[in-house]
């Protein structure tokens, strides 16, 4: 499905990003995994058998370097998966201004930076952007205003890119996962009360595994999705259906 294509997965060292990188490789893509923490990123790349470039997505010059290094290595770029993100739970009054800015910088600016730096190359390949937002980009999450604001921004930024670059045949789509068992959610889901809240809000009655998110990410990057752009697709066990 992705033979002869080249993809970057930000935040690809673990969790959802790692599963997406694995799925892309399975479907024949060349993959560059990227994250902030070099040791864990390199370890994952070695395990999966793909390339690695260190990059903090909240620093534009590092994102540019990631894109340029990929194009230098493989000669093209077909897909960027803007997946890197951080969780954050605190009410507006509880959080520091620095925390607000940090969450917005990684979760929203990072997606803008990845998309902006990739676009010149995606125009050449008529490639696509796959963003990872959240159900909390579609509905409010209790106690997570910075995270929800950033993810809501990603949802509408995706639509904007889709509209602006349709004439160049560059597609942009977004996945909005519900709760997924990853290092990001481990601590929360270990708390019985929180786990029961999540189960109660999820019609399918359970959290997802990263592998339940990666298939749609591969599909969206493929020719099978050639008429899909500007879509924000919940993969949430029914969370946003009620
Ligand atoms: P995770 O297990 O915590 O992994 C996050 C990844 O992002 C890691 O590779 C991490 O690498 C990287 N990262 C964090 N900050 C970065 C930065 N500034 N620059 C570059 N890389 C950075 O998280 P996850 O659960 O897989 O989440 C992946 C995406 O899905 C996120 O955007 C998250 O918001 C979204 N999501 C997750 C859930 C869920 O329930 N898990 C639900 C909805 C949406 P480092 O080690 O370098 O930090």
Closest CA to 27 of 7, 51, 53: 7
User: How confident is the model over 134-186, as pLDDT tens digits?
Assistant: 999 999 989 999 999 999 999 999 999 999 999 999 999 999 999 999 999 99
User: How confident is the model over 36-60, as pLDDT tens digits?
Assistant: 999 999 999 999 999 999 999 999 9
Whole-prediction pTM: 0.99
Is the Cβ atom of 14 under 6 angstroms away from ligand 1?
A: yes
Task: Note the pLDDT of residue 141.
Answer: 87
Is the Cβ atom of 106 under 6 angstroms away from ligand 1?
A: yes
Catalytic residue among 147, 165, 188, 195: 147
From CA 143, how far away is CA 208, in angstroms rounded? 21
User: Is there a catalytic annotation at residue 147?
Assistant: yes
Q: Look up the CATH number of domain 5-179+209-235.
A: 3.40.50.720
How much distance in Å is there from the Cα of 101 to the middle of ligand 1?
17
Q: Is the dihedral of CA 46, 14, 61, 171 positive or negative?
A: positive
Q: Give domain limits for the chain.
A: 5-179+209-235
DSSP calls for 78-130: -EEEE---------TTTS-HHHHHHHHIIIIIHHHHHHHHHHHHHHHHT-EEE
Is the Cβ atom of 82 under 6 angstroms away from ligand 1?
A: no
For residues 14-25, average pLDDT: 98
Is the Cβ atom of 86 under 6 angstroms away from ligand 1?
A: yes
8 Å CB contact between 155 and 133: yes
Task: Note the pLDDT of residue 52.
Answer: 98
């Amino acid at each position: 499905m992705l033979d002869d294509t080249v993809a970057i997965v930000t935040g690809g060292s673990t969790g959802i990003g790692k599963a997406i990188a694995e799925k892309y490789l399975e479907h024949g893509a060349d993959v560059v995994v990227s994250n902030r923490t070099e040791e864990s990123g390199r370890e994952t790349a070695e395990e999966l058998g793909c390339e690695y470039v260190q990059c903090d997505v909240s620093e534009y010059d590092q994102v540019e370097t990631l894109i340029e290094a990929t194009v230098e290595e493989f000669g093209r770029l077909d897909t960027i998966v803007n997946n890197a993100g951080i969780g954050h739970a605190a009410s507006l009054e509880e959080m520091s201004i620095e925390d607000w800015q940090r969450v917005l910088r990684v979760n929203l600016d990072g997606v803008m930076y990845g998309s902006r730096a990739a676009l010149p190359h995606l125009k050449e390949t008529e490639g696509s952007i796959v963003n990872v937002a959240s159900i909390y980009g579609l509905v409010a999450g209790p106690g997570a205003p910075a995270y929800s604001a950033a993810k809501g921004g990603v949802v509408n930024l995706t639509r904007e890119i889709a509209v602006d670059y349709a004439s160049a045949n560059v597609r942009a789509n977004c996945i909005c996962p519900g709760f997924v068992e990853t290092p990001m959610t481990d601590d929360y889901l270990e708390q019985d009360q929180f786990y029961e809240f999540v189960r109660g809000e999820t019609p399918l009655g359970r959290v997802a595994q990263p592998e339940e998110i990666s298939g749609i990410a591969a599909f969206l990057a493929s020719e099978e999705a050639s008429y899909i752009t500007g879509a924000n697709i919940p993969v949430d066990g029914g969370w946003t259906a009620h």
